[in-house]
Each structure stands twice: as C-alpha cells, then as structure tokens.
Amino acid sequence: MGNRKNQIRLICCIVGLAVVMAGAAVAAKPNLMAAFFVKGKVGLKWGKVAGASEYLVFRKGPGGDFVQIASTDKDKYFDEAVEGGKTYAYKIAVVEGGEQIFSGTKSVSIPGTSGDFAPPTWVGIRYDQDKLYLNWDPVPGAVAYNIWRSETAGSGYEVVGTSQGSRHVEKEGLLKGTTYYYVLSAMNQDFDETPLSEERSAKFGLSLEEQEALIAAESKIELEPVNLKELFEISEGPDGAPLNQPSDVFVNSKGVIYVSDTLNGRINCYDPQGKPKFAFGERVTDADGDLTDGSFMFPFTLYIDKQDQVYVSDVKRHDIQVFDESGSFLRRIEVLFETGLNPLRANGLYVLDDGRLVMTDAGNHRWLVTDANGRVQVAVGSRGTDEGQFIFPDELTVTADGTVCVVDPINCRIQEFSLDGAFVRSFGGSGMSAGMFGRPKGITTDAKGMLWVTDAMSNMIQGFTEEGEVRNAIGTADDDWSYMTPRGIHFHDGSMFVVQRLHHKVTVQSMTP
C-alpha cells in the first residue's frame, strides 16, 4: 500500500513538473521575423513558441495605438484591411498566466494610389570626392525614381538615371566646374509618373582655372607651426583589456582623464600620467532588456562640468547619464520628442554653466538646447545641404561668447549659431587640404579660444579662428605626426588629448606654438 502511495505521489510530481515546464515554454518571447506588403495585403511571419496554442496580432496605424486585430493558432497572418499611403506597425503576443508577452515591432509602408502620388521632395545635393550625391525623401507608393538633368536652369532636362531608392550618385560624364540642374519624378507599380519636382542645382567641383586659383590662394595661407611633444598613450583599460573603438576624452579639474571606451560599454578613468584608476558602467547588449541606471549600450560623447560631474551620451540607449567623479550614478536625462521623430542620438554634448544642455540630435539632423531635465527649449535644423541644415551632425562646442559650433560631417563644414538658434556663419568645404574637410568629426576650443577640428578622412587636426580662418594643420605631409580616424579632442593644462578610434587609443601631447 505504501508503494502504491509513493507511485501516486511520483506521478503527481511528474505531471506538476510538466505543467510548470509547459508554462515556462509559453513564457518565451515571440520572434516577429518578417512583415511585408504583397498583393494588396501585409504578410506577417513569426517563429513558433513552444507550448503556445494561440497568437494575438496587434497593429498600430498612423497616430494611433496598438490594437488587437486578430488571433490565430498559425505562425503567419495576412492583414488585408490596409490603406494606400499609410504606414502600419505590427507586433505579436502570446498569453501566459493572464499576461501578454510581446514580440518586437516591424513597420510596413503601403504604396499610395495614383490620386495622391506626389513628386519627390529634395533633401539636397552635395559634391564630395569627385561625385555628386543626390538625396530625397521617399514617396509612398513609389517603386522607382527618374533623375533628370540639364546644364540650363529651368529647361532642357533629360533622364540620366533611375533609382529604386531615395538616393543617386552622379560620377560619369560630368565636367569639372560646371553647374548642373536636377529635377526628379517618381513612378508607382502601375508606371504612373508624378510631375517633376522642384529644381536643385550643384556645381561639379572646380574647373582647371579655379583649381589653379585655389592652389595659389592656399600657397598664401600662412599656417602657424605647432610644437608637439609625445607624453604618453592610453590603449588599455584598468583591467588590462584593450580599448575598443573609443569615442571621446575629457579631463576634470583634478587632471583625472575620462575615456569613453565605446564598444566595451564603459568609461575608463586614468590619473594625470595616464595610469589606469578605475572604470564604471555595465555593458548591456539587448535594447529590450533591463536598462538599469549606470549601464551602457554605446557610450559616446563626454562632458565634465565645473563640479566635476561626468555627463555621458549613449546613442543606443538614447539618453544622457550623469555620474560623480568616482563613477557613482547621479541621474538620467531623457529628452522627449513629439511623435514622428527618431529617438535622441546625441553625438555632441556641452553643458552650460547654468545647467542647460546643448547637444546634437543626429537622427533628426539638428541641434538642441534643453533645460537641465532635458526639456527642449531650442531646436535648429533639418536634413539637407542648405544653410542651417545638416546630414547627421556630429560633435559640437560652445565658445566663450556663446557661439554654438556644430560639425556637419557629410556637408564637410562647420556651422555656427547663437544660442537662440540664429545662424551666424559656416566655414570649410569638401577637400583634403588646410581649411577644408574630408569628414570632420570632433570639435573643441583651447585656452586661447581657437577652434580645433578632427578629420577622420584626411586624418588631420586643424586649428581655426572663430571666424573660420585656418591657422594650424597637424598631420599633413609637412610634419611628422600622423593620426588614424581622429574623433574626440580635448585640451587641458597645455596638453592635447586626441582619440584615434581605429587605432584604439588616446594620444596625449604637450603643445606649444
């Protein structure tokens, strides 16, 4: 009889364990693998979840919230209730213990009808590395775009290319020094074509005569020599692990050096002689995971205020975190945007004495001023090549008189503004010689108020007056110094600190005129 009872108990335990294991299997997160538009409907496909007998399909339309639209026991679903010209987001859920467990989201844009089929809107045209780059905003419903070109403004256009995406590169058959005029049209799947867009023009480089004149002008540029002395390099963290594509460097009032060790997901700290002290920040790789305070996904730009508080932008967490000088977490600053904008990507960061923050917002092609809590007060810029526009702005700095200097890398220039957003001037241009830029990245000021800009393509570091006149060029064929993809740059107590991203190190040099 006793054995019989033990057998019953064992069977109950096994059944109970099976139930628990089944519940644990159902608790797995669904994986929405694909969402696509085909034959007038949206097809969804996801991976099966062990133990799940039902899947809930959720959809969000323009300006709305996610709403359940279906349930199914299959691992796919077709949504036919969609409208042309709109974008929908989808996610899948399973239910476990009365709680819905969601997949990630995927979005699908539905082609529009010919009735609302509009001409493309320009982003801009830029000349770079002997090519013209044309960009425009995608048109809902477009399957291809025609690129029309003329050497005469307002007429004489001929089709010179077709693109399935919203960009086109011109490089063949163009004459140096000639201005070309472009318009665009879009075609839908029925080969309906829109009217022509507005016209944009661009000059294709410099003619031979203009090049000769530029060379003559460059020969008259009187660059001031810079005497550098190698002090030390930083290439390892406190645990001896190599730096992994560091992004920025800053020194506090006590001479402690802070380096954003980006791909290692931490901030490393060193004494004034470059000896490792400590590191802070826990690396997180899953954006859907628990982003605890003090953890990093992609720590990027640093700023240290007069109280030695350390501000760190994280371009994958989309926030800014503040630490004390020992690395203890103080607070998190979240910058909230209106619906329809991309999350914050603060490639550049500066903290004013009154606590306001000035930062670039690269994903939305602009720069911002916020209060100390991240509420936006000033927003300047949009995507494009015109004055006051940007294409993925990088670092910025603020001069002693309150001028905001923003690196516009794709447009190969520095743009200057007042703190209230008024445009002041721009300087630079596409080129690999002194006063020009291949791909500018970092910017800061020294004790004398000079602007210093790193260039990741020409591998130069250049010094400018605030008015944009070049005074120094380091890393040219005329000196003995070389840099590899320099980005972050900082001056402290007569020394220049330069991050060389692809050399995985920070170079520290004393600097005298």
| 275 vs 172, more confident | 275
Q: What does the angle CA 460 – CA 255 – CA 464 come to, to the nearest 5 degrees?
A: 30
What is the distance between the alpha carbons of residues 128 and 125, in angstroms, rounded to a whole number?
10
Over residues 246-250, the mean pLDDT reads 98
Residue 289: per-residue pLDDT = 60
- CA–CA distance from 195 to each of 109, 146, 187, 296, 324 (Å)? 22, 11, 10, 48, 58
185 touches 194 (CB < 8 A) = yes
Domains and CATH numbers, the chain: 28-109 (2.60.40.10), 114-213 (2.60.40.10), 227-512 (2.120.10.30)
Q: What is the pLDDT of residues 385-406, one digit of tens each?
A: 889 999 999 999 999 999 999 9
| pLDDT, tens digit, 9 for 90 and up, residues 190-247 | 778 888 999 999 889 877 776 667 666 666 667 888 889 999 999 999 999 999 999 9
- For residues 477-499, give the mean pLDDT: 89
Tokens describing residue 513: 């005129």
Report which of residues 38 and 67 the model is more confident about. 67
- Residue 11, pLDDT score: 44
Quote the DSSP letter at residue 422: -
Q: What is the amino acid identity at position 83?
A: E
**Burial of 418: CB neighbours in 10 Å, binned 0-12, 13-18, 19+:** middle
Dist. CA 105–CA 103, nearest whole Å: 7
Cα–Cα distance, 165 to 183 (Å, whole number): 15
pLDDT at 26 over 50: no
Nearest alpha carbon to residue 287 among 311, 314, 267, 261: 314
* Widest pairwise Cα distance in the chain: 109
Q: Cβ distance 47 to 28 under 8 Å?
A: no
What is the arithmetic mean of pLDDT over 83-87?
77
pLDDT for 114 beyond 50: no
SS (H, E, C) 256-275: CEEEEEHHHCEEEEECCCCC
Of 151-160, 168-177, 260-269, the range with the highest mean pLDDT is 260-269
> 341-368 pLDDT, tens per residue?
999 999 999 999 999 999 999 999 999 9
C-alpha 302/C-alpha 250 separation (Å) is: 6
Distance CA 467, CA 470 (A): 9
pLDDT exceeds 70 at position 18: no
Pairing of strands 357-361, 366-370: antiparallel
Grouping H, G, I as helix, E, B as strand and the rest as coil, residue 101 is strand
Average pLDDT, the chain: 88
3-state secondary structure of 348: coil
> What's the pTM?
0.68
DSSP string for residues in 281-326: -EE---TTS---TTEESSEEEEEE-TT-PEEEEETTTTEEEEE-TT
Q: Are 444 and 452 in contact (CB under 8 A)?
A: yes
Confidence of residue 21 (pLDDT cuts 50, 70, 90): very low
Written as six digits, the tokens of 472 are: 């120094």
DSSP state of 501: G
**% residues pLDDT > 90 (the chain):** 64
Label residue 33 by pLDDT band (50, 70, 90).
Answer: confident
Query: Can you tell me the distance from the alpha carbon of 203 to that of 437, in angstroms, rounded to the nearest whole number?
Result: 17
